[in-house]
Amino acid sequence: MSSRFVTIVLMSVLIALMLQNAAFGVWFDVTGSSQSFGSVATFNLSEQCVIELPSSVTFVVTNLSTSTSAPAVSIDISNIALASATKQLKLSVRANSAEFTPPTPGATTWEAADVTWNAGVCSGAEGSSGTMSGSGFNTVATVTAGEASASTAGLVFTLDAKSSVKRSGNHTLTITWKVEAIGA
Amino acid sequence: MRVATYILVAAAVLVSLAVVETRADSVQVDIVGPTFNYTDLASTSSCTTTLAFRNADLGPGRRVRISVRAAAINFSCANGGVNVPCSNVSWTTSGAVNCSGSSGTMDSLSYITVLTGNADATSGSVDVNWNLDPLTAGVVAYSHTLSFTYLVEII
């Protein structure tokens, strides 16, 4: 038997032993009839919630000289878990642009700031009235600390009167909702 | 006469030492605690660990048994919030080799068996499929820990 063959066999055995140990963790020696070992179970919970938001808000404008309210919408938030009992969940909204996109390019349309909303009727949260902005998020509701769920009903978005608008058709404004944990 | 008594006593002690000589059972165990990561607190969180023993040097007909017991009633969390009870932890077993696995629920009062080795088995393992129940409202999003004890017995 050559020394090279012996070396290969020994290395194979060594690798097999290393793999066997790698498949498990640390081995503890037990001698006698019984022995106990401390261990720890851990669970990690990420900050989270489940939220149902309106997919769109539609204003059916029939009279340009008066403001138009969209049908009331509801927002439901559940399974709220935050990093401390004092942190709060805040819901905000902003427009992705400074004004609506008119049906005809260049036509006069509404500005994002022409959209306002009321505080709604909240459960487990405090609603905030506000005005849409194309440059920053404005608060719609803030969930009370410690609440596992909350809802806002009767949230009404209103579009200002604007008699300078001359084109009928769909004027659209894309918005972004922000859900964030605030406080410490 | 007195010398003879001493000799007899010494001989008796030596004989008794020889008779009571016993061989200590020994085994090596690999024990790992479970880690659960929740992405949805409303769902059960699961993870799997392997419980194993090897190099068992046991008396005839003896076997290894491994049990667990929680050291506290609840998980603890540095950020407070609602406590999660240890009884929310349960397990099933699968893939037993040279042993049998037992399903159970974590208890802080008594040891619950997880693995029982076959008689005279020198090694064995079982996959422990741990489950942690859906969480209730008020559990803070943070790391929660539960100290528990593995009891290894030769029975």
Q: Give the chain A residue nearest B81 (alpha carbons).
A: A85
Is residue A7 scored above 90 in pLDDT? no
CA-based nearest distance A141→chain B, Å: 20
The proportion of chain B whose per-residue pLDDT surpasses 90, expressed as a percent, equals: 78
Q: In sequence order, which residues have a C-beta less than 8 Å from that of residue A40 and are 6 or more positions away?
A: B33, B145, B146, B147, B148
Give residue B81's pLDDT. Answer: 87
Query: Could you say which of B25, B147, B152 has the minimum Cβ distance to residue A38?
Result: B147
Please count the CA atoms within 13 angstroms of the CA of B61 that sit on its side-chain side.
0
Give residue A90's pLDDT. Answer: 98
Give the model confidence (pLDDT) of A103-157 as tens digits: 999 999 999 999 999 999 999 999 999 999 999 999 999 999 989 999 999 999 9
Mean pLDDT of chain B: 89
Is the separation of the CB atoms in B137 and A149 below 8 Å? yes
Please count the CA atoms within 13 angstroms of the CA of A171 that sit on its side-chain side.
22
Query: Could you say which of A24, A35, A45 has the minimum Cβ distance to residue B152?
Result: A35
Q: Which range among A20-29, A54-63, B112-121 has the greatest average pLDDT?
A: B112-121
Is residue B7 scored above 70 in pLDDT? no
Query: Could you say which of A32, A36, A80 has the minimum Cβ distance to residue B149?
Result: A36
Tokens of B131: 């489950």
Q: What does DSSP say about strands A88-95 and B143-154: parallel, antiparallel, or unpaired?
A: unpaired
Give the model confidence (pLDDT) of A57-83 as tens digits: 999 999 999 999 999 999 999 999 999
Structure ipTM over 0.90, yes or no:
no
Give residue A10's pLDDT. Answer: 56
CA-based nearest distance B1→chain A, Å: 43
Give residue B15's pLDDT. Answer: 46
Is residue B17 scored above 60 in pLDDT? no
* First vs last C-alpha separation in chain B: 48
CA-based nearest distance B11→chain A, Å: 29
Q: Using 50, 70 and 90 to split pLDDT, how confident is the model at B90? A: very high
Query: How big, in percent rounded to 5, are the helix, strand and coil portions of chain B?
Result: 15, 50, 40
Whole-structure pTM value: 0.77
Tokens of B87: 């009884």
Is residue A182 scored above 80 in pLDDT? yes
Give residue B5's pLDDT. Answer: 60
A114/A109 Cα distance (integer angstroms): 10
Beta strands in A96-137 (DSSP E): 115-117, 121-123, 125-127, 130-131
Is there a contact between A45 and B38 if contact means CB atoms under 8 Å apart?
yes
Phi, then psi, of A114 in degrees rounded to 5: -80, -5
Query: Could you say which of B30, B140, B148 has the minimum Cβ distance to residue A41?
Result: B148
Is residue B6 scored above 80 in pLDDT? no
* First vs last C-alpha separation in chain A: 71
Phi, then psi, of B12 in degrees rounded to 5: -65, -40
Cβ-Cβ contacts under 8 Å, A38 against chain B: 71, 147-150
Cβ-Cβ contacts under 8 Å, A24 against chain B: 30, 50, 52
B58/A64 Cα distance (integer angstroms): 92
B49/B127 Cα distance (integer angstroms): 6
- The number of C-beta contacts closer than 8 angstroms across A and B is 152
B95/B99 Cα distance (integer angstroms): 10
Q: Using 50, 70 and 90 to split pLDDT, how confident is the model at B136? A: confident
Cβ-Cβ contacts under 8 Å, B28 against chain A: 27-30
